[in-house]
Amino acid sequence: MKDFRLYAITGENFHPGRGLAEVMEQAILGGADIIQFRDKHSGKEELLRKAKALRELTRRYDIPFIVNDHVELALEVDADGIHLGQGDLPLAEARRIVGSKIIGISTHAIEEALAAQEQGADYIGAGPVYATRTKLDVVAPVGLDYIREVSRRISIPFVAIGGIKLGNADEVIEAGATRLCAISEIVGSEDPAGACRAFIDRLERKERA
Ligand code: 3NM
């Protein structure tokens, strides 16, 4: 897959008065280079409407569009890939359905990360690094040690996720993350583009160092 460094996921708590596509376009303009549609509440028609809007947006900017969980929806809007949690469809089954599309897997322990790599995931999420209020059913924070371990032992791309803020991004990068993912710090921001630029700035400072 095309590499990326700032992964923006849609949230449900936007800054008041902003729409989904508007916020995600701001994120892209600020430097987010992969977008995931994650929506645990909308009904079928609403999901389709939102996914189509985001598909159109990401096509316009030529960046990968990933759909969380809803495999059929991903196929219907011709997303570039899907993202699955540990409790979702097994990877082998997902691969049969989506073929060569991108498959990302959430991992919270090194055994899960190694299994995802072995089974052919294209990338993994590693987290939650810190406590987060965005995903309520997630495991306890795994901390920077998990990022260090994944960066040592995993060779497919991994993205650090969970409570990542501008204020802690440097230590996550220092622990070995070269790709960051955030929801609330981007979509909840008054200035999503500015938040993304600031994340990119921190990643680039490390790349130059
Ligand atoms: N997955 P925020 S943490 C969607 O660890 C999600 O797998 C996680 O939101 C995982 O950036 C998380 O607002 C929520 O903390 C990330």
Which tens digits make up the pLDDT trace of 156-174?
Answer: 999 999 999 999 999 999 9
Query: Is-contact 188 15, C-beta < 8 A?
Result: yes
User: Is residue 132 a known part of a binding site?
Assistant: yes
pTM flag (> 0.90): yes
* pLDDT at res. 202: 97
Residue with tokens 């979702």: 88
Catalytic site residue 38?
yes
> Encoding tokens for residue 101?
């599309």
Quote the pLDDT of residue 1. Answer: 87
Tell me whether the omega of the peptide bond preceding residue 128 falls within 30 degrees of 0, making it cis: yes
Ligand 1 center–CA 161 separation, angstroms: 5
Per DSSP, helices labelled H in 8-43 are 20-30
The values of phi and psi at residue 113, to 5°, are -65, -45
Is 10 among the domain residues?
yes
Task: State the virtual CA torsion across 105, 109, 111, 113 in degrees, nearest 10.
Answer: 30
Name the closest-CA residue to atom 16, ligand 1: 162
pLDDT at 188: 92
- 183 labelled ligand-binding: yes
In a domain, 108, yes or no: yes
Does residue 20 line the site of ligand 1, with CB under 6 A?
Answer: no
Residue 38 assigned as binding residue = yes
Instruction: Answer positive or negative: Cα dihedral of 9, 14, 18, 19.
Output: positive
How is residue 187 written in tokens? 């979509």
Pick from 183, 186, 189 the residue to mutate for probing ligand 1's pocket: most ligand atoms within 8 Å of its CB: 183
**Radius of gyration (Cα) for the chain, nearest Å?**
16
172 CB contacts (<8 Å, ≥6 apart)? 129, 144, 147, 160, 164, 180
The answer to whether the CB of 161 is under 6 A from ligand 1 is: yes
Query: Residue 85: which domain range?
Result: 6-208
**Does residue 1 sit within a domain?**
no
Q: Determine the distance separating the centroid of ligand 1 and the alpha carbon of 132, expressed in angstroms.
A: 6
Half-sphere exposure of 54 (CA within 13 A, CB side): 34
Q: Which stretches of the chain drop beneath a pLDDT of 70?
A: 16
Q: Provide φ and ψ at 61, rounded to 5°.
A: -100, 0
Give the count of domains, the chain: 1
* Residue 140 located in a structural domain: yes
Which pLDDT score, from 0 to 100, does residue 17 have? 77
Is 42 a known active-site residue? no
User: What is the predicted pLDDT for the residue at 12?
Assistant: 78
Task: Please report the pLDDT score of residue 63 as a whole number.
Answer: 97
Residue 90, in any domain of the structure: yes
The amino acid sitting at 48 is L
Tokens representing 123 are: 């990338």
Interface confidence, given as ipTM, is 0.99
Q: Out of 10, 108, 161, 185, give the residue to mutate to test ligand 1, the one with the largest number of ligand atoms within 8 Å of its CB.
A: 161
> What gap in Å lies between CA 140 and CA 13, rounded to an integer?
22
pLDDT of residue 73: 98
The H or E element that residue 183 is part of is none
Going by alpha carbons, the residue nearest to atom 12 of ligand 1 is 162
Q: What is the domain-level CATH number for residue 61?
A: 3.20.20.70
In a domain, 138, yes or no: yes
Atom index in ligand 1 nearest the CA of residue 163 equals 15
Q: Is 104 in the pocket of ligand 1 (CB under 6 A)?
A: no
Calpha distance 70→202 (Å, rounded) = 32
